[in-house]
Structure 1
Amino acid sequence: MSDDLPLGLLFGLLFLLICLSAFFSSSETGMMSINRYRLSHQAKGGERPAQRVLRLLGRPDRLIGVILIGNNFVNNLAASIATIIAIHFFGEVSGPAVATLALTIVILIFAEVTPKTYAAIKPERIAYPTSLALEPLLKLLYPLVWMVNAISNGLLRLMGVRNIEGGADSLTRDELRTVVHEAGAMIPRRHQSMLLSILDLENVTVNDIMVPRHEVSGIDLDDDLESILAQVRASQHTRVPVYKGDINNIIGILHLRNAARFLSKSEVTKAAIVQEAREPYFIPESTPLHTQLLNFQQQKRRIGIVVDEYGDVEGLVTLEDILEEIVGEFTTDVAGMQQDIHSQDDGSYVIEGTANIRDINKALGWQLPTDGPKTLNGLILEHLESFPDAPACLQVGTTRMEILQVKDNLITSARCWQYMRRGRTA
C-alpha cells in the first residue's frame, strides 16, 4: 500500500500530524496554566472565549481525555507514516530504528518542548483559540472520552479521589498574601500594604491596639465641678469616658459636641453632664479586629471600653485605631509622633518601657514578637525570666537592648538597635 502513496503525500501527512501533535500538546499546557482568577473575571465580564474555556475546565477529566486521545492518535499515526518513509529510504532492517529516533527528536522539539513552553508563557493566546476546536471535538468524541474517563475515574476513586469536577478555586490567607506580594507594579505598594493589613486583622485583637487604662483621659465625677469643666474645655479628644471615683465604674461616654448644651447654661451640674453622656459600650479584650470593625458598624459606635474576663477595664479602643491598622497612621512621620521612642545620634533608640511593641514595630519597621507581652518592659522581663537587679543587656531576634533605667519594679527605658542594620554581627 505504501508504494501506492507518493512520498510527497506521506511527507505532507507527517508534517500535518506533527502540527496536530503540537496543537494538542500546547492546548493541554495552555488550558492547565491559564490564570483561573483572571479567567473567571473575564468570563463574568461577558467574554465568550473565557466562558468557553471555563466550561471546558469545569470537567478537567473530560478535557484532558479528549486532548490525550487526539494527541496519542496523531502521534501513533505519525509513527506509522514515518516508519513507511524510513523503510523506503533505509530498508526494512534499519528503517524502523531510524524512524523512531528521527521522529522522537522531531516530536520532542517541534510538538512538545517548543509549543508547551510557549503555552506556559502565553496561556491565554493558546487556550482561547484552541478551545474553539476542543469544544466540538469533545462532543464528537464523547462516547470514547466517556469510556476512557469512566475507567480512569474508577481508578482515581480507588486512590481516594472522589470529586472529579473542577471545583471553585480558593486561596488561604497565606496564599492570598503571596498573591498580593507578587502582584508587583500591578498593585501600588500603598495598596499592597493596606490589603495585607486587612488580612492581618484576624490575627490582632483589640487588646493589641487599645489605649491602656493608665493613659485613658476621662472625666471623674468625684472631682470638683470647676476642674471637670476646665477638663472639658481643654480636652483634645472628641469622646471621653465619664466615671465615678474609679475608671472601672464608667457611667458613659461623653461626646464633646454635646458639651455645648450644658456649657451654655447659666448653672452647670454634674447631673447635666451625665445626662449628655451615652451609655458605655464594652468589648472583650480578646475580640479580633475584623470582628470588632463589624461590631462598630452594627452598633453605630466609634469607641468601646475594653474589659478583661473579670469585667475590669483594660483600656479603650476607637474605630480610628482599627482604621489605622489598615491604612497606617494618620501622619507622615510615625516615629516623630511616637513620644515613647527617642532617636539617638548613633542610630539607636531610647524607648520607654511602657511603649507598645506593635507601635514600636510600626514606627521603626522592626519585627519584635507580638504574640506575648504587649509592652517593651514585659518583653524584656519575659526574656530575662527575672527582674534585673541592675542594668543589663539582652538580644531579642535581631534587636539588641540595653536596660538604662529601672524604677519601682518597672523597666522605664532601654536603648535598642538593630545590630544587622548597623553592620554588626551577633
Structure 2
Amino acid sequence: MDDISTSTLFIILGVLILISGYFSGSETGMMSVNRYRLRHLENEKHKGAIRVSKLLSRTDRLIGLILIGNNLVNVFASLVAGIIFERYFGDAGIFYAGLVLTLVILVFAEVTPKTLAALYPEKIAFPSSIILTALLKVFYPLVIIINWITNSFLALLGISPEQREQHSLSNEELRTVVNESSALIPEQDQNMLVSILDLEKVTVEDIMIPRSELVGIDINEDWKKIQKQLTQSNHTRVLLYRDNIDDVVGYIHMRDALKLLSKNQFTKATLLRAVREMYFIPEGTPLNVQLLKFQHAKERLGLVVDEYGDIQGLVTLEDILEEIVGDFTTTMEPAPSEEVHKQPDGSYLVDGSATIRDINKEMSWHFPTDGPKTINGLILEVLEEIPQAQMSLRIAGYPIEIVDTSDNMIKTIRVIPDLFVAHNAD
C-alpha cells in the first residue's frame, strides 16, 4: 500500500463507496418492488421482472449475496481510509478515518441510495438484477455456506427459509387498496368492488323480503280470484301456497301463465302443473355463498327458512346483485328514500318496517346491524316490550320518538339527527 499514491487511494475509496451504495440501493429496490406488479410484468414476459422474481424466490440467498458484497466493500473501504488518514494525521488518523468514513457511508452509501431505491424500486431493481444474477453465480459457494449457517440458527427458532411470506392481501387490505385507487378507478366502480368484498359479511336475512311482506296466491281460493291476482301481479314470479304461506306449493313464472292463456289452457289444473319447485335457503347464509349457490342451482329466488323449517322471507338473485351495483330502476320494492321523509324541523319520519341496512346506507346513519333487521325490531329489542306512541328513547346516540304503533308493530318513528350531532359535540 505504501507504493500506491494518495490520489490513487482516494479514487479506490470513492469506487468502493459507490459499490457499497450500489449494494445498499439494490437491497432496498429488490425488497420494495410491488410483488403484484412484478407478477403482472412477469406474465408479460418482461425480462427484468423475470430476473427479479427469480432472485426473490429465495430471499435468503439474495440477502446473503448483497450483504457479503456490501460488507466486503465496506471493510476494504475502512482499510483504505485508514491508510489515507494515517498519512495525514499519523496514528490519530485511524480514529479520524472511522468518524469521517462512517458519515460518508451513511450519506452516500446508505441513506441516499436507499431513499432513491425506495422511490424508484423498478428502475433500480431491474438493471441491478443483471449484476446480482452474475455475482450469485460467482459467489454461489460462499452464499450457500453463509445461508447454511444462518438457516441452521433459524431452524433452532423453528423458522424455515421455505416458509416465505406469500404476500397475499387480506380482505381489509384489499379494501384499502380499492379505496386508495381513486385516481385509477371511478368512484362507482370502487363502490361496486367494495360491495363485492362486503358480501361475505352480509347474510340473506339482511336483504330478504320479510315474511310479513311476502305476496302470494292461495291456490285454494276461487279460480276467478286467482286469475285476478295473477293479472294484477307486479312480479314476474308469483308464490303459490295452500291456505297459508308455510304450505308453499312453489312459484309460477308469468311467462308460463301467458303461454297457457294463449293456448286457452289456463285452468287451475294446468296452472298447478306449471308450478316450479321452490328453492330453500338456510338462514345465516352469506351473500357470496348464496350467489354461487344460485348460479350452480340455476335458480333466481329462494325462501329463507330457519332451523325449524319456518319461512322467514324471500331472497332473489336481483336482491344480491343490488347489493353490488345498487338498486335497479325496475325494482318494485320501495327505495329507502320512500321510507324516510324529511320534515321542516330537520327531523325524519321513518317507516318502522324499513330495513336498518338500507336506512344506514341511504342516510349515512349508524344504527346497529348485528341484531334485528328492521327499525321496528331494533326498538322492540331495546325496549323489550311493545311501546306506546309518543315514547322517546335513544339508540346508538340517535334520539328517536315513536309516532305511531298498531297491530303490535311500530309503524312510524321520528329520528332527530341534529340532536345526535349536538349530543356528540357536548
The bucket for the TM-score relative to the shorter chain is over 0.9
Q: TM-score, normalised by structure 2?
A: 0.94
Q: Which moved more, 1:262-271 or 1:216-225?
A: 262-271
1:66-215 map, 5 Å? 66-92=65-91, 94-164=92-162, 166-215=164-213
Letter in 2 for 1:306: V
Moved more, 334-343 or 289-298: 334-343
Letter in 2 for 1:75: N
Q: CA–CA distance in 2 between the matches of 1:266 and 1:77?
A: 100
RMSD: 2.1
Conservation of the 8 A alpha-carbon contact between 1:244 and 1:250 = yes
Question: Cα deviation per residue 1:200-236 (whole Å; 9 max; x = unaligned)?
Answer: 1111111111111221121211222222112211211
Q: Secondary structure at the match of 1:324?
A: helix
Secondary structure at the aligned position of 2:21 is classed as helix
**AA matched with 1:348:** S
Pair 1:28 & 2:16 matched: no
CA distance in 2, matches of 1:332, 1:132: 59
- The structure-2 alpha-carbon separation of the partners of 1:339 and 1:73, relative to structure 1 and needing over 3 Å to count, comes to same
- Which position in structure 2 is the counterpart of 1:328? 326
Q: Tell me the CA shift for residue 331 of structure 1.
A: 4.3
- What is the identity, as a one-letter code, of the residue corresponding to 1:381? L
Partner of 1:373: 372
What is the alpha-carbon distance in structure 2 between the residues aligned to residue 392 and residue 114 of structure 1?
Answer: 68
Q: How many residues get paired?
A: 424
Q: Tell me the secondary structure at the aligned position of residue 314 of structure 2.
A: strand
The separation in 2 between residues aligned to 1:331 and 1:266, in whole angstroms, is: 34
Question: Would you say the 8 A contact 1:305–1:315 is kept in 2?
Answer: yes
Q: Tell me if the contact between 2:399 and 2:419 (Cα under 8 Å) persists in the aligned partners.
A: no
Change (3 A) 1:29 1:86: same
Q: 1:329 to 1:396 in 2, by over 3 A?
A: same
| Corresponding position of 2:401 | 402
Conserved 8 A contact 1:59-1:165: no
Q: Which moved more, 1:348-357 or 1:360-369?
A: 360-369
Match of 1:224 in 2: 222
Q: Which amino acid aligns with 1:344?
A: Q
Retained in 1: the 8 A contact 2:389–2:403?
no
Structure 1, 394-403 or 103-112: larger mean CA deviation: 394-403
Deviation at 1:127, TM superposition (A): 0.8
Larger mean Cα displacement after TM superposition, 188-197 or 16-25: 188-197
Greater mean deviation of Cα atoms: 267-276 or 240-249: 267-276
Cα distance in 2 for partners of 1:413, 1:110 equals 71
Which stretches in structure 2 are left out of the alignment for 5+ residues?
none
How many Å separate the matches in 2 of 1:44 and 1:358? Answer: 42
Partner of 1:7: 6
- Give yes or no for contact 2:238–2:251 (8 Å, CA) kept in 1: yes
Higher mean C-alpha deviation, range 64-73 or range 324-333: 324-333
User: CA offset at residue 173 of structure 1?
Assistant: 1.4
1:16 aligned partner, one-letter code: V
The 1-side partners of 2:318 and 2:413 are apart by 29
* Residue 166 of structure 1: how far off its partner (Å): 3.3
Corresponding residue for residue 261 of structure 1: 259
Partners of 1:77 and 1:123 in 2: CA distance: 28
Shift of 1:194: 1.1
Cα 1:335–1:103 shift into 2, 3 Å: farther
Contact 2:237 2:252 in 1 (8 A): yes
The answer to whether the 8 Å contact 2:24/2:70 transfers is: yes
Q: Contact 2:399–2:420 (CA<8 Å) still a contact in 1?
A: no
Alpha-carbon displacement from aligned partner over 1:43-102 (angstroms, at most 9, x marks no partner): 11211111111111111110100001111111111111111111111112x201111111
Aligned to 2:268: 270
Code of the aligned partner of 1:377: N
SS of the residue corresponding to residue 248 of structure 1 reads coil
Partner residue, 1:40: 39
The question of 1:299 aligning with 2:297 is answered yes
Query: Once the two structures are superposed, what CA deviation does each residue of 1:160-192 show, in whole Å capped at 9, x if it has no partner?
Result: 212445353212212221222222312222111
Contact kept in structure 2, 1:398 and 1:419, CA below 8 Å: no
Unpaired stretches in structure 1, ≥5 consecutive residues: none
2: CA distance, partners of 1:184 / 1:398: 32
Change (3 A) 1:236 1:253: same
Q: What percent of counterpart residues are identical?
A: 52
The answer to whether 1:352 aligns with 2:344 is: no
Say if 1:80 and 1:216 are closer, same or farther in 2 by CA, change over 3 A.
same
User: How high is the TM-score relative to the length of structure 1?
Assistant: 0.94
Q: Structure 1 residues 246-255 or 376-385, which shifts more?
A: 376-385
Are the aligned partners of 2:388 and 2:402 in contact in 1 as well (CA < 8 Å)? Answer: no
